[in-house]
Structure 1
Amino acid sequence: MKKIEITYPFDSRPMPAESTSLAIGFFDGLHLGHQAVINKAISKAKKLNITPAVMTFSPHPREVLGKTTFMGYLTPLKEKLYQLEQLGIEQVYVVTFNQAFANLEKEKFISNVLVPLNVSAVTTGFNFTFGHRGLGTANDLMKLGKSLFEVEIVDPIIMGNEAVSSTRTRNALSTGDISLANDLLGRPYRIQGEVVHGDKRGRQIGFPTANVEPDQPYYLPVHGVYVVRAYFKESIGYGIMNVGVRPTFDKSAVKTKLEVHLFGQSPHLDLYGEVLQVELLHYLRKEAKFSSVKSLVEQIELDRTNATQWLSDQDIFLDDRRNILI
């Protein structure tokens, strides 16, 4: 997949010559609604024998305009590009969202951005907005671009009598409803990061953990303990992850930490510096402060039992082929 970074106003570099079927949107999360837009653009590309492409933006407009507090991405740019490639997109325009771009009038967005990119077809969601102050709507895009390229507007995907959306996905993660979040995404929510050194308390109490430092600004779920699936190079494993501040040990901590205990992990295994991709499968319980290390150990043992039972109920069997760290 080809990634093309562009900043408005365009410089003197020649624009790509190939015609594209372009899906436009921020697409944070690449949930089922976003996938419907992208799949429609891919279908159009096949019909017209042109390149399926996406236009997205970086950073998030909220970071630039500062209207509300920005809490992180469901799919930071690196993760978004990975997911787009999995969907079959061949070319991605990453437009720098800066003040100059934010001030662009909606008519200029058509003439100064889309037309130079040799777009033959544009697909977007029903709630897409563009131009200065977001005054341009999907219907405006259709009216303004009708003599220049084909435009298709995709209706929302409804799940549980409500539209699938990034906001709904964040709300599900913030309440521990991982099942709903993953249903909205059409895949498990994933966080990737490097394994960094911690204080090795988990190893000392018999539950070695990999301390994962997210390598991108992910939206983090509510503090608690989760059943997870982890990918390490070409291997796969299952375990539990604590998301939180470890109140039993760190009474004044404020930074959220991700600690992954993988079933079968050897206390002597060295994962430091390696990258783990961690998928959230199920929410077990909220984070708690324990009165003693003994109480904490008993709870972790119960967490392991409950996690193993949940995995078994999902027909996920933990054998030597599934446990990467035995």
Structure 2
Amino acid sequence: MVMEIVHIKLNETYHLLPSVLAIGFFDGLHCGHMRLIDQVLKVSEEKSLKKAFMTFDVHPKTVYLKEKTTYLMTMKQKEIMLEELGFDYFLIIDFNEEVAKLSPEQFIQNYFINLNVKHVVCGFDFTFGYRAKGRADHLKQLSQHFYDVDIIDEYDMNDQKVSSSCIKEYLHQGEIEKANQMLGRNYSIIGQVIHGRHNGHKIGFPTANVDYGHYVTMKKGVYGVYAYYQNKRYLAMANIGYNPTLGALNKMSLEVNIFDFNQDIYDQVIKIEFLFRVRDECKFENVDALIKQLKKDKESIICRCD
């Protein structure tokens, strides 16, 4: 069965089969989130229920607090992971001010009872309803026996709570390997290759300038990465920053030099998977010094991945 993607609009009717559902924003689908996923898979098998995953089209903070935010993954990346895990329903709440004003009771009626949810799985810190008045334990109190509830405890790794905010902080600090450990996989970005200044071509290191949209901004520097294009994986090095040696940019960029690759991929979508951080971005005395360092960076990345 192909996973069904449903954008849930308030006060509209949907005919879904009985399901066990994980609910949350799930930015990054990290190791903590995967414990909820595992519980959904377990309950689905035990109770012969459809596997459902419910999230929001934007982070609720963008509506509650009117603040911009960045993300660890796109909705498309969530979709790909859920389909690989065999989910039946991917339910996306169109979150707006009207939804934000729902009472906890109204939220439950609209998104659980009306959608034929028979079992809810959430994290210990899940909140819902107007001004987050509803907490995880309220789901049980307000169920009216329409559904069962499993609340998944905090998950720690190396005495640190696994959370999206912690992973974001690791990325801000350039601690990519710690971030990858909490994610349970390598952090990745999917973006379109856009035109830049073509300086890389001029110095023998052509780069794909990747539009990273609303992804989390990582610490400036050079990284060892994998680049994926047309289902093939290539070793590569990425620079995040302003390219100070070749005339500083006014906006941070992600530029990727793909090893043993010579194709025109402008306007194509590629995936960049971050493995480790090599060094800080810095301004060199001249272009020759930059080229010399880039050669060292490439050798270092190849050696580490050999």
Distance in 2, Cα, partners of 1:153 & 1:4: 24
- Tell me, yes or no, if the aligned pair for 2:246 and 2:287 is still in contact at 8 Å: no
Aligned residues with identical type, % of pairs? 37
Q: 1:195 aligns with which of 186, 193, 196?
A: 193
- Which amino acid letter does the alignment assign opposite residue 5 of structure 1? H
Equivalence for 1:271: 265
Of the three residues 173, 176, 190, the one matched with 1:175 is: 173
> Paired residue for 2:15?
16
CA distance in 2, matches of 1:62, 1:135: 14
Measure the CA separation in 1 of the matches of 2:68 and 2:235. Answer: 31
Residue type of the partner of 2:273? E
Q: What's the RMSD between the two structures over aligned residues?
A: 1.4
2:284 corresponds to which residue?
Answer: 290
Partner of 1:226: 223
Hey, what does 1:61 align to over in structure 2? 60
2:120 to 105, 119, 122: 122
CA distance in 1, matches of 2:252, 2:17: 45
Counterparts of 1:43 and 1:249 in 2: how far apart (Å)?
Answer: 55
Contact persistence 1:208–1:265 (CA under 8 A): no
CA contact (8 A) 2:62 2:69 kept: no
Distance 2:230 2:90 in 1: 26
Determine the C-alpha separation between the residues in 1 that align with 2:204 and 2:30: 38
Question: 1:276 is paired with a residue of what secondary structure?
Answer: strand
Q: Which residue does the alignment assign to 2:131?
A: 133
- Quote the offset at 1:113 in angstroms: 2.4
Question: Within 2, Cα distance between the matches of 1:112 and 1:90?
Answer: 20
**Residue 85 of structure 2 is aligned with which of 66, 84, 87?**
87
Aligned to 1:243: 240
Matched, 1:257 2:259: no
User: Secondary structure of 1:195's match?
Assistant: strand
Query: Per the alignment, in what secondary structure is the counterpart of residue 21 of structure 1?
Result: strand
TM-score by length of 1: 0.90
Selected match of 1:4 from 6, 10, 27: 6
**Which whole-Å CA distance do the structure 1 matches of 2:139 and 2:109 have between them?**
11
CA displacement at 1:168 relative to structure 2: 0.6
* Pairwise CA distance, 1:254: 2.9
Aligned equivalents of 2:217 and 2:85: distance in 1? 24
Gaps of 5+ in 1: 313-326
Is contact 1:105-1:131 (8 Å) kept? yes
How many aligned residue pairs are there?
Answer: 304
What do residues 100-124 of structure 1 show as CA deviations (whole Å, max 9, x unaligned)? 1111111111123211000110000
Cα distance in 2, alignment partners of residues 86 and 70 from structure 1: 30
Distance 2:81 2:144 in 1: 30
Determine the structure 2 residue equivalent to 1:42: 41
Classify 1:17/1:167 alpha carbon distance in 2 versus 1 (closer, same or farther; 3 Å): closer
Q: Counterpart of 2:245 in 1: which secondary structure? A: coil
1:210 corresponds to: 208
Q: Which amino acid aligns with 1:161?
A: D
- Contact 2:53–2:90 under 8 Å retained in 1: yes
Please tell me whether the aligned partners of residues 196 and 209 of structure 2 are also in contact (alpha carbons under 8 angstroms). Answer: yes
Alignment partner, residue 111 of structure 1: 109
TM normalised by structure 2 equals 0.95
Shift of 1:86: 2.4
SS at match of 2:16: coil
1:186 aligns with 2:180: no
Q: Which runs of 4+ in 1 moved over 3 A?
A: none
Q: Deviation of residue 146 (structure 1)?
A: 5.5
Distance 1:124 1:70, change over 3 A: same
Shift of residue 39, structure 1, vs aligned partner: 1.5
